[in-house]
Amino acid sequence: MQRSVAEELDRLAPVIDELGRRFADAGHELALVGGPVRDAMLGRHHHDLDFTTSARPEQTERLLHGWADALWDVGRDFGTIGCRRGDWQVEITTYRAESYDPTSRKPEVSYGDDLVGDLGRRDFTVNAMAVRLPSREIEDPYGGVVDLAHRVIRTPGTPEDSFSDDPLRMMRAARFAAQLGFEVDPGVVAAMSAMAERIDIISAERVRDELVKLVCAPWPRRGLALLVETGLAQRVLPELPALALERDEHHRHKDVYEHTLTVLEQAIDLEHRLGGGPDFVSRFAALMHDVGKPRTRRFLDDGTVTFHHHDVVGAKLTRKRMKALRFSNDEIDAVSSLVELHLRFHGYGSGEWTDSAVRRYVRDAGDQLERLHILTRADCTTRNKRKADRLRRTYDDLEARIAVLAEQEELAAIRPDLDGNQIMEVLGLGPGREVGEAYRHLLELRMDHGPLGEERATDELRAWWAARSAD
């Protein structure tokens, strides 16, 4: 651990040595703190550098002038100044003393005079370590190094006090469990269970940001299980624990909740197809794909269970939840359309879809097509290997057909054979409702039959118009 810290500090030397000297020369203390220290000990790089200082925000600002390329006020009320130098992102926060009450409107925070006091106000021991600068002396008053070695999340003081000060820390415990793959101390879990409803006072945006980090972490199952187990999920994402009550339609003894976590992990394994890092939309769609099941479950007389329209109902519930969590419209549209489309493939059977059905599949998925491939493939958790192989081959076949059609027709950009101007010209109309109807009619024909060509499309349009006018 010592060696990885030393190596990481050498890498950070251009920033930490200069800043350390600047602050020391002005008579202030400065220390690297939190994430970068924790990650240095784990032998990982941390991208943004957090510091804590005895200097007040105005003094910090003055000391950064002439050193930083750009400077901003992250939140003067919280005593944080942000800056950038080259590729380095830096945030410097003045020592805190008292806990601040996020429910009160009091803007002032009480600043502290010493590093150890500041570390005691931090969320977890593994985040409550600092490296004093420029001396590079490690400060670890709450046993963070030991907890890192034991891979456990603990609070510096009692978890009850900590979570009363800021209930968001309960979500953060689950987030760090998911990011680091650590256990959460049993006392911390107990406090999370006892205090879960306090999360209600936290703004939806702060909850959302922690949820996104948790879902995008390497071990989301760990964090999600913790949210469900402690009752936090019941407050922030109730659709998830609701799944645990249900039985899967094929395997009566496997519940939909377990199935969902497995689908999430299988979707993560396919994420490389998107070519980037963790993909929130794909992961969240996996998590939400079956949330319509509890509402749509019906028991038939012969003992079977059905979940008719759980895709449509699930898409609505997803939309509602994401709205409440203040996600952007783009994210809401993307995730809910994936939920709505997740079953569509199952009509494909052994490749009997018409070209028209394939075109519609592509068109309806729009720019979510690649994610829909991932979700549909991930949504197969049967232990029956032959069945799983058959589904995979059938999907391979669908993707192959899409590729062929796409090459022929540029499916994603399907337009009718005539555009709006041509329609108006052929029918002698000005802009209006009829032009839209005609456009949609030609689009339907285009979907059903492929490209018609201008001449035949014109004939079809005239025939449609004549029939419509005769009605």
Q: Is the peptide bond before 134 cis (omega within 30 degrees of 0)?
A: yes
Identify the CA nearest to 157 among candidates 120, 115, 111, 187. Answer: 120
The nearest distance, CB 270 to Mg ion, in angstroms, is: 29
**Of 20 and 34, which has the nearer Cβ to ligand ATP?**
34
Report helix, strand or coil for 210. helix
Contact call for residues 281 and 338 (beta carbons, < 8 A): yes
**Of 142 and 361, which has the nearer Cβ to ligand ATP?**
142
Contact region for ligand ATP (CB under 6 A) — 60-68, 119-127, 266-274, 400-408? 119-127
The nearest distance, CB 36 to ligand ATP, in angstroms, is: 7
Q: Does 120 bind Mg ion (CB under 5 A)?
A: no
Identity of residue 138:
I
Q: Does 168 bind ligand ATP (CB under 6 A)?
A: yes
**Of 122 and 446, which has the nearer Cβ to ligand ATP?**
122
Q: Does 319 bind ligand ATP (CB under 6 A)?
A: no
CA 267 to CA 401: how far, in whole Å? 22
**Of 95 and 348, which has the nearer Cβ to ligand ATP?**
95
Q: How many angstroms separate the most distant Cα atoms in the chain? A: 90
The nearest distance, CB 220 to ligand ATP, in angstroms, is: 15
Contact call for residues 147 and 42 (beta carbons, < 8 A): no
- DSSP letter (8 states) at residue 89: E
**Of 35 and 292, which has the nearer Cβ to ligand ATP?**
35
Mask for 18-47, x = binds Mg ion (CB under 5 A): -----------------x------------
**Of 48 and 367, which has the nearer Cβ to ligand ATP?**
48
Interacting partner of 169 out of Mg ion, ligand ATP, none (Cβ under 5 to 8 A depending on kind): ligand ATP
Interacting partner of 210 out of Mg ion, ligand ATP, none (Cβ under 5 to 8 A depending on kind): none
Mask for 20-59, x = binds ligand ATP (CB under 6 A): --------------xx------------x-x---------
**Of 47 and 415, which has the nearer Cβ to ligand ATP?**
47
Identify the CA nearest to 269 among candidates 349, 138, 148, 374. Answer: 374
Count of CB atoms within 10 A of residue 342's CB? 24
Contact call for residues 207 and 325 (beta carbons, < 8 A): yes
Q: Does 122 bind ligand ATP (CB under 6 A)?
A: yes
Phi and psi dihedrals of 49, rounded to 5? -100, 120
Count of CB atoms within 10 A of residue 85's CB? 18
- Residue written as tokens 């028991």? 299
Pairing between β-strand 130-133 and β-strand 48-53 as defined by DSSP bridges: unpaired
Contact call for residues 322 and 341 (beta carbons, < 8 A): no
**Of 196 and 375, which has the nearer Cβ to ligand ATP?**
196
Contact pick of 29, 61, 118, 166 for ligand ATP (by CB under 6 A): 166
Identity of residue 245:
L
Interacting partner of 127 out of ligand ATP, Mg ion, none (Cβ under 5 to 8 A depending on kind): ligand ATP
Contact call for residues 318 and 281 (beta carbons, < 8 A): no
Interacting partner of 123 out of ligand ATP, Mg ion, none (Cβ under 5 to 8 A depending on kind): ligand ATP
Interacting partner of 122 out of Mg ion, ligand ATP, none (Cβ under 5 to 8 A depending on kind): ligand ATP
Q: Does 169 bind ligand ATP (CB under 6 A)?
A: yes
**Of 57 and 292, which has the nearer Cβ to ligand ATP?**
57
**Of 122 and 293, which has the nearer Cβ to ligand ATP?**
122
Identify the CA nearest to 353 among candidates 417, 308, 404. Answer: 404
Q: Does 159 bind Mg ion (CB under 5 A)?
A: no
Count of CB atoms within 10 A of residue 101's CB? 11
Q: Does 127 bind ligand ATP (CB under 6 A)?
A: yes
CA 127 to CA 175: how far, in whole Å? 13
The nearest distance, CB 78 to ligand ATP, in angstroms, is: 10
Identify the CA nearest to 151 among candidates 42, 226, 44. Answer: 42
Kindly state the tokens that stand for 227. 């949210």
Interacting partner of 52 out of Mg ion, ligand ATP, none (Cβ under 5 to 8 A depending on kind): none
Give me the residues that bind ligand ATP (CB under 6 A), please. Answer: 34-35, 48, 50, 122-123, 127, 166, 168-169
Per CB under 5 A, residues contacting Mg ion are 35
